[in-house]
Amino acid sequence: MPEVLVLDSKEDGAALVAGHIAALVREHPSTTLGVATGSTPLPVYSALGEHASGGLDFSRASAFALDEYVGLPDGHPESYRAVIDREVTQRLGMDPEHVHVPDGSAIGIETAGDRYERALIAHGGVDVQLLGIGSTGHLGFNEPGSSFASLTRVKTLTEQTRRDNARFFSSLDEVPMHCVTQGLGTILRARHLVLLAFGEGKADAVAAAVEGPVSSSMPGSAIQLHPHVTVVLDPAAASALQHGDYYRWAQDNKPDWQGI
- Please report, as ranges, the residues that interact with ligand GLP according to CB under 6 A: 36-40, 66-67, 132-134, 140-141, 161, 165
Least distance in Å: CB of 191 to ligand GLP? Answer: 19
**Which CB sits closer to ligand GLP, 52 or 157?**
157
Least distance in Å: CB of 39 to ligand GLP? Answer: 4
Please count the other Cβ atoms lying within 10 Å of the Cβ belonging to residue 189.
17
Question: Measured between alpha carbons, how far is 17 from 13 in angstroms, rounded to an integer?
Answer: 6
**Which CB sits closer to ligand GLP, 56 or 237?**
237
Least distance in Å: CB of 157 to ligand GLP? Answer: 8
Least distance in Å: CB of 54 to ligand GLP? Answer: 26
Least distance in Å: CB of 139 to ligand GLP? Answer: 7
Whose CA is closest to 128, among 61, 181, 184? 61
Please count the other Cβ atoms lying within 10 Å of the Cβ belonging to residue 249.
11
**Which CB sits closer to ligand GLP, 58 or 141?**
141
**Which CB sits closer to ligand GLP, 43 or 212?**
43
DSSP code for 240: T
**Which CB sits closer to ligand GLP, 141 or 247?**
141
Residue 63: φ, ψ to 5°: -145, 145
What is the bridge-based pairing of β-strands 178-181 and 67-69?
antiparallel
DSSP states along 84-116: HIIIIIIHHT--GGGEE-----STTGGGHHHHH
**Which CB sits closer to ligand GLP, 45 or 141?**
141
Least distance in Å: CB of 130 to ligand GLP? Answer: 9
**Which CB sits closer to ligand GLP, 32 or 40?**
40
Least distance in Å: CB of 189 to ligand GLP? Answer: 17
* Cβ contact 227:145 at 8 Å: no
Task: Burial-class residue 57 by CB neighbours within 10 Å (0-12, 13-18, 19+).
Answer: middle
Question: How far lies 120's CA from each of 11, 45, 66, 67, 101, in Å?
Answer: 30, 22, 11, 13, 11
